[in-house]
Amino acid sequence: MLPAVPSSPRAARRTFGGEMRRHREERGLSAEEVGAEIGCSGSKISRIETGDRSANPDDFGRLMELYDIPETQQGHLEQVFRVGRRRTREWWHAYGDELSKNYAEHIALEHEADRIVEYQQAFIPAMLQTEAYARAVTSVGYAALGPDQIDTHVEIKMKRQRRIQAADGPLHIDAVITEAALRFQCGGPTAHLEQLRHLRDLMTRRPNVNLRVIPFTQGASGIVTGGYTLFMTDGQETPTAANTEAVAGTIHIDDALGLRRLSRLSTHLTSAALTAEESTALITKIEKELP
């Protein structure tokens, strides 16, 4: 049975590109060799496969012929290809001058996903932050930015959160954080208390938000260097893409091996976390410890 055709152009380009890469690798060809065969550069083939650009109709026909794709599959791929060729302007495009390519990519994947799975060691996930907390961590993480730029980045975070509040098809979030993320007083005691109460409110009022906490008592089994986000679409349990965070920046992952490894890591960290009820109780306990 053929998978559903993605509704958004970006998702369609990524789906089409992933299929083209799979066919290329099955035939043992490099991107440069494919480019030479169909009359374009290897870099263009690579960008088509990552979904960064759309193929043109001539490219499509030549790729179908080169990979000897059956007509039954060609019809489905042509539908995906046509959706990927559509031109749309999403809300974050208005912030083009303020967004890095990796951040724009992250927002696009988030926008297309039905569900995300996230792990953070030191921070509350961006989709669950209050405005005051978001301003505090943005000021630290982007120390070189001016006040107006910080305002813009906080504004972008708040707009991203509309996905979890949508009345129709809200984004589902399965987040795992460490106890350290709950205890860091980002923005001072008042902002800290507000953030903890906001988390409890989301956990009790939003069935699409599932937050689990790894307590300090779990030791090394609950520690991973750097956070990550897995993106799921079409109700699938297998991620279509992922982003991992490091000091040097965000690393995008969409190969099958990398996604399997991150999925296994996510399962391990979730097993080390408290239940949702226990996590809520820990948040309440930390609240009561505050002045």
pLDDT band of 6, cuts 50, 70, 90 = confident
Residue 224 in contact with residue 216, Cβ under 8 Å?
Answer: no
Cα–Cα distance between 199 and 34 in angstroms, integer?
50
- Higher pLDDT: 168 or 156? It is 156
Cα–Cα distance between 244 and 148 in angstroms, integer?
27
pLDDT for position 171: 93
pLDDT for position 102: 85
Q: What are the pLDDT digits (tens) for 68-84? A: 999 888 999 999 999 88
Specify the fold of 9-84. 434 Repressor (Amino-terminal Domain) (1.10.260)
Q: Is the pLDDT of residue 2 over 70?
A: no
Q: Reading across the β-sheet that carries 249-253, which strands appear in turn?
A: 209-214, 172-178, 115-120, 228-232, 241-246, 249-253
- Higher pLDDT: 142 or 83? It is 83
Q: What are the pLDDT digits (tens) for 224-274? A: 878 999 998 767 788 888 999 877 778 888 788 888 999 999 999 999 999
Provide mean pLDDT across the span 42-55. 85
pLDDT for position 193: 96
Beta strands in 45-155 (DSSP E): 115-120
3-state secondary structure of 2: coil
Q: Is the pLDDT of residue 4 over 60?
A: yes
- Higher pLDDT: 51 or 194? It is 194
The DSSP output letter for 280 is: H
3-state secondary structure of 231: strand
For the chain, give every residue range classified as CATH 1.10.260.40.
9-84
Chain-wide mean pLDDT for the chain? 89
pLDDT for position 176: 97
**Count of residues in the chain:** 291
3-state secondary structure of 75: helix
pLDDT for position 222: 76
Residue 95 in contact with residue 156, Cβ under 8 Å?
Answer: yes
pLDDT for position 141: 61
Provide mean pLDDT across the span 20-31. 93
Chain-centre distance for alpha carbon 227 = 11
Provide mean pLDDT across the span 85-94. 82
| HSE, side-chain direction, 13 A CA sphere, residue 271 | 7
Which tokens sit at 76? 């489905």
What is the dihedral sign for C-alpha 198, 121, 258, 272?
A: negative
pLDDT band of 200, cuts 50, 70, 90 = very high
CB-based contacts of 279: which residues, under 8 Å, 6+ apart?
A: 203, 211, 212, 213, 273
Q: Is the pLDDT of residue 140 over 90?
A: no
Q: Is the pLDDT of residue 162 over 70?
A: yes
Q: What number of other Cβ atoms are within 10 A of residue 278's Cβ?
A: 13
Cα–Cα distance between 277 and 206 in angstroms, integer?
14
Which residue type is seen at 99? L
- Higher pLDDT: 282 or 290? It is 282
pTM: 0.77
For the chain, give every residue range classified as CATH 3.30.870.
91-289
Encode 245-285 in three state secondary structure. Answer: EECCEEEEECCHHHHHHHHHHHHHHHHHCCCHHHHHHHHHH
Hey, what's the torsion of the CAs at 279, 233, 253, 245, to 10 degrees?
A: -30
pLDDT band of 1, cuts 50, 70, 90 = low
Cα–Cα distance between 288 and 245 in angstroms, integer?
32
Closest among 92, 115, 100 to 249, alpha carbons compared: 100
Q: What are the pLDDT digits (tens) for 268-289? A: 999 999 999 999 999 999 999 9
pLDDT for position 40: 84
Quick one: CATH architecture of 91-289? 2-Layer Sandwich (3.30)
